[in-house]
Amino acid sequence: MAGGFVSQTPGVRNYNYKLTPKVFVTCFIGAFGGLIFGYDLGISGGVTQMEPFLEEFFPYVYKKMKNAHENEYCRFDSQLLTLFTSSLYLAALVSSLFASTITRVFGRKWSMFLGGLTFFIGSAFNGFAQNIAMLLIGRILLGFGVGFANQSVPVYLSEMAPPNLRGAFNNGFQVAIIFGIVVATIINYFTAQLKGNIGWRISLGLACVPAMMIMIGALILPDTPNSLIERGFTEDAKKMLQSIRGTSEVDEEFQDLIDASEESKQVKHPWKNIMLPRYRPQLIMTCFIPFFQQLTGINVITFYAPVLFQTLGFGSKASLLSAMVTGIIELLCTFVSVFTVDRFGRRVLFLQGGIQMLISQIAIGVMIGVKFGTVGTGNIGKTDANLIVALICIYVAGFAWSWGPLGWLVPSEISPLEIRSAAQAINVAVNMFFTFLVAQLFLTMLCHMKFGLFFFFAVFVFIMTIFIYLMLPETKNVPIEEMNRVWKAHWFWGRFIPDEAVGVSAAEMQQKSV
């Protein structure tokens, strides 16, 4: 594929690269890093619906679920049960902060490897769990794995990919996440039908498969040219760049990487530096994008789709089946982003997806409100329940080509090398913190806010869509080490970027972009 689409930001260079098999295979394997996160996201909701699992570890919830039919909104409300799901995200938050140093000092691939290893050990703890303690220790280890992988993989993909295809390659991470979710949901569907404890053990234990895939992948993958230069292997970096770009003419990009690395050497403390005014746009974006991604409310669907569908009156099997359908739709629609993100750009997808989510959320809230009211009793007819499932699919599709993949892509591509690892760690930490909050609070919120919960998330989707419209410049096709120019040309952020970072004044940049 020729490097067709060009950047529109003034002063930004365009390297004209072909897509090489090497970069394709490398990024394909690198994207496996999303599998562990996805597998876990997909398995937890289903396992916490399995009666033998609840009976074994959460007898109180089990009893309540068996008896209660009086208030649909509150059927599954239990802090301990949600702690099982959400403890992972706190662990991931903590480990992403450590991962940033390993990613910077030892290279991206070792963080990926460590991620696979800790996830592997966690899956053994969970599969063989005899008590709540083993279950929680396992979850925490899985969380460490997710933190390491999510901190390193998006950066790895963004650095390896040719600039004009960076969006597509980076979106491979989200494709892997959703693939993991779908596989996990299918596994749950079958294991839920097994008698006794074997079902949930298989579901939790099989997490070792994606863990092994990322471990083996990390061992055979080369490190990125950016990271090799950062760690002083300049010659190796040049050879690596030539081989992944499929040409010996990489001097311009190589020089950009060297310059970026020189700049980066001035910075001894990435964590302190990211607080400097010149990194304000990146800091704000790496905090707000993951915050908003979680406040779309997507994980209400990811974790609790089976619960939600049961609440709507579906049987346990039909609920898992519906969760499978939403997962498959999410997977297919993520490809829309893969194929359009470098052509139409990030902003168009963010804005279109946001509007689609907003409309469908309001419609879902209205429908559930009309059927269950505030009391939360009543039965929903088959046609209405199906209509709600259809609306959920429209919402999921909107997320799948916007905030899902772009929530990982944009933060990984907007920061200069000297703060990139720290910025990505912040991205993961904020993402995990709000994933934790939503996971922990959703069932209680559903119990108290009832159908209003959907309006709650809709308000945030409205705010985030305006935020993107005003504050996020287009980054498609811009070489990753040239990103400062994009910020410099932005109407608001331009004032924070010093002239020497791009060699021109903000006024000149903005004039050129008119």
Sites of contact with ligand BGC (CB under 6 A) = 41, 174, 177-178, 293, 298-299, 302, 404, 407-408, 431, 435
Q: How far is the CB of 432 from ligand BGC (least distance, A)?
A: 9
Measured from the CB atom, the residue of 178 and 240 that comes closer to ligand BGC is: 178
The two structure tokens encoding residue 310: 């049961």
Q: Please give the DSSP secondary-structure letter assigned to residue 266.
A: T
Q: What are phi and psi of 58, to 5 degrees?
A: -130, 65
The closest alpha carbon to 99, from 175, 176, 33, belongs to: 33
CB closest to ligand BGC, residue no: 302
User: Please, is 325 exposed, middle or buried when counting C-beta atoms within 10 Å of its C-beta (0-12, 13-18, 19+)?
Assistant: middle
Q: How many residues belong to the chain? A: 514
Q: How far is the CB of 210 from ligand BGC (least distance, A)?
A: 15
Measured from the CB atom, the residue of 165 and 430 that comes closer to ligand BGC is: 430
Measured from the CB atom, the residue of 410 and 483 that comes closer to ligand BGC is: 410
The closest alpha carbon to 122, from 241, 36, 183, 53, belongs to: 36
The closest alpha carbon to 489, from 469, 477, 505, 500, belongs to: 505
The two structure tokens encoding residue 176: 């892997």
Measured from the CB atom, the residue of 26 and 435 that comes closer to ligand BGC is: 435
- Count of C-beta atoms within a 10 Å radius of residue 370: 12
Dihedral sign computed on CA atoms, order 58, 442, 115, 274: negative
The two structure tokens encoding residue 159: 């650095």
Residue 382 CA: distances (Å) to CA of 60, 74, 373? 31, 21, 17
CA gap 249, 212 in Å, rounded:
37
Q: How far is the CB of 314 from ligand BGC (least distance, A)?
A: 20
Measured from the CB atom, the residue of 54 and 409 that comes closer to ligand BGC is: 409
345: left (phi over 0), alpha (psi -120 to 50) or beta: left
Measured from the CB atom, the residue of 123 and 293 that comes closer to ligand BGC is: 293
Q: How far is the CB of 177 from ligand BGC (least distance, A)?
A: 5
Q: How far is the CB of 204 from ligand BGC (least distance, A)?
A: 18
The two structure tokens encoding residue 509: 């940049």
Q: How far is the CB of 369 from ligand BGC (least distance, A)?
A: 25
Q: How far is the CB of 143 from ligand BGC (least distance, A)?
A: 13
Measured from the CB atom, the residue of 127 and 407 that comes closer to ligand BGC is: 407
Q: How far is the CB of 490 from ligand BGC (least distance, A)?
A: 25
Measured from the CB atom, the residue of 135 and 333 that comes closer to ligand BGC is: 333
